Structure 1
């Protein structure tokens, strides 16, 4: 499948690249996408939530009232969960939310997500570019030339480029990453995916394994 290569102004350069059928034209596996996105979101959780239980509460251990004759329920400790300031029953404890996922499933998920973007015509290829200095104005002009200034966009570079990254940092709906940072979640979460030529080479070589 051939796709026209655009320049930084959104115009066709006259060149076309052939997208690999093994990466951009497979039979999408939506369950693999679900598993990979689920793992990604699970890994964002710190798992440091903690509430004190009755054994961890600072307080007196004396029996707070006599056993009988008060007309109320017996009580032995001020740290009991039924009293204000007492411990919490079955409170949250620190937990590791990481999940394991087979490498082949993750690779299949990324290829499936890229295939769906390609089918939806939400995948663009541009030649490698750079800015002379970090300027949000220049990056916004770049997005406007591609017609995606008002959409969620993911720009994938072959190698890290500080000027391009800093130019995009103030834009909430746009994200710049390198091909090695590409994940299924980022692909699915973006409305449009823009690949530079060097990023395309890296993605294809990585996902064809």
Structure 2
């Protein structure tokens, strides 16, 4: 599959042939859903916590007679049925992460790249370099490419000027190629890859 390569200013910079094994797969929404669910579950903090009856600072002394009081038998005000008592079966600190085979994760990333290419939401640029970290200048360049919501993936290292200029622009994410992931690719309208990123991704799945 051939795609036009552009400069950051929107001008043409030749063309590039993309590998069908990485950018030409048939859509599989079920795989994408599994990978996104795995990513989001892994990043959950899991720090939600309520106190059980054993953790409530109240007396455990039996507060009424066993018989003859005209009510139910109770032995502690810390029981969940009382106001101020412990929570029954409440949430505890735990990890929400679950396993997902490495092959499924790799397939999910290739499917996400293929989906952007199929929807014509993939843009390849020669490089993303700025001499000075000026957000205004970067906004003008992104406007020439027609980008309002995009993920930019560069090579092994990010250009410092570009990364700093992109910090103040909403709905613009910048990642090195090692950080490419399904969730970030799908959450933005456009995917912008540098030629270095394309080469690294194709080499990764070779």
Pairwise TM-score range, normalised by the shorter structure = over 0.9
Equivalent-residue separation in structure 2 for 1:145 and 1:35 (angstroms): 36
Equivalent-residue separation in structure 1 for 2:89 and 2:41 (angstroms): 22
One of 162, 181, 184 as aligned partner of 2:182: 184
Q: Deviations over 1:141-172 (max 9, x none)?
A: 121111113xx210011122222112111222
One of 157, 161, 164 as aligned partner of 2:162: 164
1:88 shift after superposition: 0.3
In the TM superposition, 1:74-85 aligns within 5 A as 74-85=73-84
- After TM superposition, the score normalised by the length of structure 1 is 0.93
Match of 1:62 in 2: 61
In the TM superposition, 1:40-189 aligns within 5 A as 40-149=39-148, 152-158=149-155, 159-189=157-187
- After TM superposition, the score normalised by the length of structure 2 is 0.94
Is 1:194 aligned to residue 192 of structure 2? yes
Please say if residues 128 and 154 of structure 2, whose CA atoms lie closer than 8 Å, have aligned partners that are also in contact. Answer: no
1:70 shift after superposition: 2.8
1:30 shift after superposition: 2.2
- Structure 1 alignment gaps of length 5 or more: none
1:181 shift after superposition: 0.3
Secondary structure, aligned partner of 2:197? helix
Equivalent-residue separation in structure 1 for 2:166 and 2:128 (angstroms): 14
Please say if residues 128 and 159 of structure 2, whose CA atoms lie closer than 8 Å, have aligned partners that are also in contact. Answer: no
Equivalent-residue separation in structure 2 for 1:134 and 1:68 (angstroms): 79
Match of 1:26 in 2: 25
Secondary structure, aligned partner of 1:10? coil
Secondary structure, aligned partner of 1:195? strand
Secondary structure, aligned partner of 1:74? coil
1:103 shift after superposition: 1.6
